[in-house]
Each structure stands twice: as C-alpha cells, then as structure tokens.
Amino acid sequence: MKTNDLKNLSGILVIDKPQGLTSMDVVEEIKKVLRVKKAGHGGTLDPIATGVLPIFLNEATKVAQIFLEGDKLYEGVMQLGITTDTYDITGEVLATSDPNSITLEDVQRIIPHFIGEIQQSPPPFSAAKYKGRPLYKYARNGLIITKNPKTVRIYDFKVLEMNGAEVRFLLACSKGTYVRSLVHDFGQRLGCGAVLKSLVRLKKSVFTFDQAISLDEVKRLAKEDRISLQKRIIPLEKALEFLPKVIVNEESAQKIRSGIRIPTSSFLSWVRFQKLSLNPTEKYIRLATPKNELVAIIENPFMHPTNPYLTYFRVFPARNKS
C-alpha cells in the first residue's frame, strides 16, 4: 500500500465532533474524504454535543462493538428553570420556573441521588428504538413513547461551577446513559426543571479528547498532508492493547484464519506456558502472533467453561506483506 493511500487503511480515527452534526453525518463525511469502503462510529453523540467520536475504518468496524461497551466521560452545562420536550436547550419549551432561589448547596444535595446504579428512560427525542423505529420519529409525529427504564451506572457526578442558572458538571458513566435524561430527572428532583445546554464528550472507552482531530482538519490533511493524517489513525493492535493478550504460533494463527476450530484445551496450555493470569470476568481476549500481529478476538473461555472449542468474536486476515 502506498503511504498516501488512505482508503485501504484499517484503524480508528478519533474525531472531535462539531456541534450540529449527527454522528452518522460525521461517518458519511469521513467515508467521502477518505474514500474508505466501510466506516462506523463508536457511540452516538447528539447533534448538540461535541467531543470524542471514534470512527472505525474498514477492518476496525469488526470490533466496534467492544468499544461501544466502554464507559464515558463528559463535561456539560445544564440550565435550570426550563423543561423542554427534547430535554435539551434546542427543544420546545414545555415549562419554565424561576431558579433564582436555587443555591449551589441545593444542587450539591441532589447529586448523591444520581450516583451508582440508577434507573433511566431515554428521552422521547432519541435514537432508542421502539418496535424497530427510533423514538424521535414517533415524537416528530406527536406521539411520545415512554420506554421502560433501564439500569445505568453513574461512577462520578460533580459540580464544577454554578453561575446563576447554569451548572457546569463532570459526569463519568456507563454505556447506555443518556445525559439529557439525567439532566431532566435532576431538574425534576430539584423542583425547577433543567435542560442540557452544552455537552463535550472527553472520553469514550479508551479514546480520549487529546487524541481527537477536527473534521475540518481531516479534510485539510486529506488534501495537503496525507502522511500526517495517516499517523492520526490508531492501529487496531494499539487500540486493543487494553484487552488481555495470548500469543499463538504461526501454525495456530493460520488455522484460526482458515476457520478451523481450536480446542479450549489448547488455549489453556498456551496460558499455562506463557504463565498468564487472566481475569475470568474479562469478556474478550485477543490472540496475536509473536510479532504482535492481530489474529483474532475471542470470547473468554473462562466464561464458557463447558465449551470444548474457542468462540471467535472476530478473526483478522494476515497483513499484506507486499
């Protein structure tokens, strides 16, 4: 592959999503600029939000699900005294309330109710699906669907600053958490209503804001400096370093890539020989050659002790040696 040829690259490009675009808008822009065959994103951001949006290119799309399960970190601003149909500042105002009597101490007093495992329903204007259709399509036709609440985990929720009716906050949460819903519920508990005014995603799974590049910069580099743009694409091997690794020899690698099932007993012998200590609750394990070439992602055999063969989550072709 030529160094300036981007369309065949596999990896992850972390975009600082601009406000106003949907996550799929960004994917389509990247596909157009890089001319890649396959691309997908690693977790939806609302149009109002900016920040970390991992874009998976070509072979990397096969493992996007692993990163979708990762936790998230946000910095945002909520505005007290307003309730809207979308739970953010862009929606139709349903109610207003004077928030001037709300103090920082009042806000701090509510925070503990939103730490740990909480029950949460998605906003009526969201991509969550009901009978195969996104909720926002029902809502745009005047039909508000309330889905059953799901359990999400809030690891940290702290106020950074309060300026009048605006509260700037930091939020660390699990996948599936809707920040708009959290802000809406927070405002209801506070008794004055609240909407999300702005939101920046600082981290999604292992991807951080300092790795992000703007969409405009991607377009510029695609025209002027493709080698520099290529360097911004995180290789799969690098992105997956957080997963436990088991080394397989070239013969086993070839069998796996050919679709031949590998006995779990063989895997266990590799683990013993390499003196590895694997967490039985870790969902995925990566298999790599001694040269650190990615062979496959497998489901952790310790989670399926009765399965006589390894379960392949994704298998990757050998690198092109040319």
Q: CB under 8 Å to 257, separation ≥6 — which residues?
A: 295, 296, 315, 316, 317, 318
Half-sphere exposure of 123 (CA within 13 A, CB side): 24
Model confidence at 318, pLDDT cuts 50, 70, 90, reads confident
Residue showing tokens 């890539």: 257
Query: Is the Cβ–Cβ distance between 213 and 57 less than 8 Å?
Result: no
Query: How crowded is residue 9: how many other Cβ atoms within 10 Å of its Cβ?
Result: 18
pLDDT at 122: 80
CA angle 10, 52, 151 (to 5 degrees): 105
Is 227 or 4 the better-scoring residue by pLDDT? 227
In the chain, what percentage of residues exceed pLDDT 70? Answer: 93
- Which pLDDT band, with edges at 50, 70 and 90, does 8 fall under? confident
Q: Does domain 72-203 have CATH number 3.30.2350.10?
A: yes
The pLDDT assigned to 304 comes to 85
Q: Which residues contact 64 (CB under 8 A, 6 or more apart)?
A: 40, 41, 42, 56
Return the half-sphere exposure (C-beta side, CA atoms, 13 A cut-off) of residue 194. Answer: 29
Share the mean pLDDT of the chain: 91
Residues 249-272, mean pLDDT to the nearest whole number: 95
Between 124 and 42, the higher pLDDT residue: 42
Q: Which CATH class is domain 243-315?
A: mainly beta
Residue 148 or 284, more confident? 284
With cut-offs at 50, 70 and 90, classify the pLDDT of residue 211.
very high
Task: Decide if pLDDT at 114 tops 50.
Answer: yes
Residue 182 pLDDT: 97
Share of the chain above pLDDT 90, in %: 78
Instruction: Identify the CATH homologous superfamily for domain 11-69+206-235.
Output: Pseudouridine synthase (3.30.2350.10)
Q: 185 exposed, middle or buried (CB, 10 Å; 0-12, 13-18, 19+)?
A: buried
Show which residues are catalytic.
Answer: 46
What value, to the nearest 5°, has the Cα angle with vertex 133 and ends 129 and 135? 60
Amino acid in position 5:
D
Q: Residue 113 contacts by C-beta under 8 Å, 6 or more apart in sequence? A: 189
CA nearest to 154, candidates 191, 122, 123, 111: 111
Judged by DSSP in three states, 131 sits in coil
- Residue 321: the pLDDT is 56
Other CB atoms within a 10 A radius of the CB of residue 148 amount to: 6
Residues 247-276: b if buried by 16+ CB within 10 A, e if exposed: bbeeebbebbeeeeebebeebeebbeeeee
pLDDT at 2 over 50: no
Phi and psi for 278 in degrees, rounded to 5?
A: -105, 140
* pLDDT computed for residue 130 by the predictor: 65
The pair of three-digit structure tokens given for residue 64, joined into one six-digit string: 């996007």
pLDDT at 91 over 50: yes
pLDDT of amino acid 322: 46
User: Would you say 163 and 169 are in contact if contact means Cβ atoms under 8 Å apart?
Assistant: no
> Mind listing the pLDDT tens digit for each residue in 125-154?
666 776 777 776 776 766 666 767 899 999
Helix (H, G, I), strand (E, B) or coil at 160: strand
Q: Same CATH topology for 11-69+206-235 and 243-315? A: no
| Residue 316 CA, distance from chain mean position | 22
Rounded mean pLDDT, 250-275: 95
Distance CA 301, CA 307 (A): 7
Q: Which pLDDT score, from 0 to 100, does residue 1 have? A: 39
Break the chain into its structural domains and give their ranges.
11-69+206-235, 72-203, 243-315
User: What are 20-30's pLDDT values in tens digits?
Assistant: 999 999 999 99
Q: Which of 54, 66, 4 is nearest to 228 (CA)?
A: 4
